[in-house]
Structure 1
Amino acid sequence: MATTSLAELDDETGGKINSLDFHRKDDLLVTASDDDSVRLYDIVSAKLIKTTYHKKHGADRVCFTHHPSSVICSTKYNLDSTGESLRYLSMYDNRILRYFKGHKERVISLCMSPVNDSFMSGSLDHSVRIWDLRVNACQGILRLRGRPTVAFDQQGLVFAVAMEAGAIKLFDSRSYDKGPFDTFLVGGDTAEVCDIKFSNDGKSMLLTTTNNNIYVLDAYGGEKRCGFSLEPSPNTNTEATFTPDGQYVVSVLLQNFLSSDPTCQKLTLLFQFVKGSGDGTLHAWNINTRNEVACWNGNIGVVACLKWAPRRAMFVAASSVLSFWIPNPSSNSTDESTDPQATVKSDQV
Structure 2
Amino acid sequence: MKLKRFFLRYYPPGIILEFEKGGYLRTKSIDLLDLTPETNPDELVAEIRQSEPLITESRADQVKQLIFRLQQKQGQQDHHRFCFFKELKAHILPLTNVAFDKSGSRFITGSYDRTCRVWDTASGTELHTLEGHRNVVYAIAFNNPYGDKIATGSFDKTCKLWCAETGKCFHTFRGHIAEIVCIIFNHCYSCNICLCIVEFFNSKKELHIGHTAEVLSLCFNTVGSQLVTGSFDHTVAIWDVASGRRVHTLIGHRGEISNVQFNWDCSLIVTGSMDKTCKLWETVSGKCVATLVGHKEEVLDVCFDLSGQTIATASADGTARVFSATTHECLVTLEGHDGEISKICFSPQGNRVLTASSDKTARLWDVQSGVCLQVLEGHTDEIFSCVFNYEGDTIITGSKDNTCRIWY
Distance change (3 Å), C-alpha of 1:114 and 1:71: farther
Question: What is the distance in 1 between the residues matched to 2:242 and 2:298?
Answer: 32
Distance change (3 Å), C-alpha of 1:4 and 1:25: closer
Question: What is the distance in 2 between the residues matched to 1:25 and 1:75?
Answer: 26
8 A contact 1:69–1:91 mirrored in 2: yes
Residue of 319, 327, 330 corresponding to 1:221: 327
Report the Cα offset of residue 211 of structure 1.
2.6
Structure with max Cα Rg: 2
Distance change (3 Å), C-alpha of 1:289 and 1:155: closer
Is structure 2 residue 326 aligned with structure 1 residue 246? no
Distance change (3 Å), C-alpha of 1:286 and 1:219: closer
Q: 1:74-125, CA deviations, whole angstroms, 9 ceiling, x for partnerless residues? A: 55356xxxxx7xx473344322356653566554334344432654442324
Is structure 2 residue 85 aligned with structure 1 residue 6? yes
Aligned position for 1:33: 111
Please list, as runs of the form range in 1=range in 2, the aligned pairs for 1:73-92 lying within 5 A after superposition: 73-77=152-156, 87=159, 89-92=161-164
Aligned position for 2:261: 151
Aligned position for 1:333: none
8 A contact 2:347–2:354 mirrored in 1: yes
Distance change (3 Å), C-alpha of 1:292 and 1:223: closer
Aligned position for 2:147: 68
Aligned position for 2:381: 301
- The alignment-based identity, stated in percent, is 18
Please list, as runs of the form range in 1=range in 2, the aligned pairs for 1:170-181 lying within 5 A after superposition: 170-173=280-283, 175=284, 178-180=285-287
Report the Cα offset of residue 201 of structure 1.
2.1
Q: Which amino acid aligns with 1:184?
A: T
Aligned position for 1:331: none
Question: What is the distance in 1 between the residues matched to 2:85 and 2:389?
Answer: 15
8 A contact 2:319–2:341 mirrored in 1: no
Question: What is the distance in 2 between the residues matched to 1:62 and 1:18?
Answer: 9
Aligned position for 1:142: 249
**Tell me, which stretches of 5 or more residues in structure 1 are unaligned?**
79-83, 254-275, 327-349
8 A contact 1:18–1:34 mirrored in 2: yes
Report the Cα offset of residue 290 of structure 1.
9.5
Is structure 2 residue 406 aligned with structure 1 residue 324? yes
Aligned position for 1:128: 236
Is structure 2 residue 148 aligned with structure 1 residue 42? no
Aligned position for 1:259: none
Question: What is the distance in 2 between the residues matched to 1:75 and 1:157?
Answer: 32
> Secondary structure in 1 aligned to 2:161?
strand
Distance change (3 Å), C-alpha of 1:20 and 1:294: closer
Is structure 2 residue 204 aligned with structure 1 residue 96? no
Distance change (3 Å), C-alpha of 1:146 and 1:292: closer
Aligned position for 1:256: none
8 A contact 2:270–2:281 mirrored in 1: yes
Is structure 2 residue 310 aligned with structure 1 residue 207? no
> Secondary structure in 2 aligned to 1:251?
strand
Distance change (3 Å), C-alpha of 1:19 and 1:12: closer
TM normalised by structure 1 equals: 0.66
Q: 1:222-251, CA deviations, whole angstroms, 9 ceiling, x for partnerless residues? A: 110111245454xx7531222222222222
8 A contact 1:74–1:107 mirrored in 2: no
Please list, as runs of the form range in 1=range in 2, the aligned pairs for 1:323-342 lying within 5 A after superposition: 323-326=405-408
Q: CA RMSD in A?
A: 3.8
Report the Cα offset of residue 165 of structure 1.
3.2
8 A contact 1:166–1:185 mirrored in 2: no
8 A contact 2:97–2:139 mirrored in 1: yes
Question: What is the distance in 2 between the residues matched to 1:315 and 1:35?
Answer: 23
Q: Which amino acid aligns with 2:264?
A: Q
8 A contact 1:240–1:306 mirrored in 2: yes
**Tell me, which stretches of 5 or more residues in structure 2 are unaligned?**
1-79, 174-192, 199-208
Distance change (3 Å), C-alpha of 1:168 and 1:17: same
Distance change (3 Å), C-alpha of 1:128 and 1:51: farther
8 A contact 1:109–1:123 mirrored in 2: yes
Question: What is the distance in 1 between the residues matched to 2:106 and 2:238?
Answer: 25
8 A contact 2:343–2:386 mirrored in 1: yes
